[in-house]
Amino acid sequence: MKAQWIAGQWHKPARAKIPVVNPATEEILDYIPRGTAADADLAVRAARQAFETWRWIPALEKAQMLHRLAGDLRARQKKLATLMTQEGGKPFCENRDEVEWVAACFQYYAEVGRNSRGNSIPPTFHHQVNFTIKEPYGVVVGIIPWNYPLLLMVWKVAPALMAGNTVILKPSNETPLSLLSIADLFGKHLPAGVVNIVTGRGAEIGEALIQHPGTDLIAITGSTETGKRVGQLCAAQVKKFHGELGGNDPFIVCEDADLDIASRAACWAAFLNTGQVCTSCKRLYVFESVADEFTKLAVKHAKSLKLGNGLKPDTDLGPMINLRQLEDVHHRVRQAVNDGARILCGGRRSPKFKKGFFYEPTVLTDVEHDMNLVQTETFGPVLPIMRVKDIDHAIWLANDSAYGLGANIYTNNMEWAMKAMERITAGTFWINDPLTDNDAGPFGGMRQTGHSRELGEEGLDEFRETKHVHLDYKAERKTYWYPYAKYNKLTS
Q: What are phi and psi of 296, to 5 degrees?
A: -60, -45
The set of residues, in sequence order, having a beta carbon less than 8 Å from that of 238 and lying 6+ positions away, is none
Work out the widest C-alpha separation in the chain, in whole angstroms.
93
Q: Is 278 part of the annotated catalytic residue set?
A: yes
What single-letter DSSP state applies at residue 443?
B
Q: Among residues 94, 98, 174, 244, which one is catalytic?
A: 244
Compute the residue count for the chain: 492
Contact of 247 with 379, CB cutoff 8 Å? no
Q: Among residues 105, 234, 278, 281, which one is catalytic?
A: 278
Q: Is 244 part of the annotated catalytic residue set?
A: yes
Contacts 24+ apart (CB under 8 A), 354-357: 355/24, 355/25, 355/26, 356/23, 356/24, 356/25, 356/26, 356/309, 356/319, 357/23, 357/24, 357/26, 357/89, 357/319, 357/320, 357/321, 357/322, 357/323, 357/325, 357/326
CA 363 from chain center: how many Å? Answer: 26
**Helix (H) / strand (E) containing 288:** helix 288-304
Residue closest to 424 by CA, chosen among 449, 398, 454: 398
Residue closest to 401 by CA, chosen among 450, 453, 447, 366: 447
Beta-bridged to residue 21, according to DSSP, are 28
What is the set of active-site residues? 244, 278
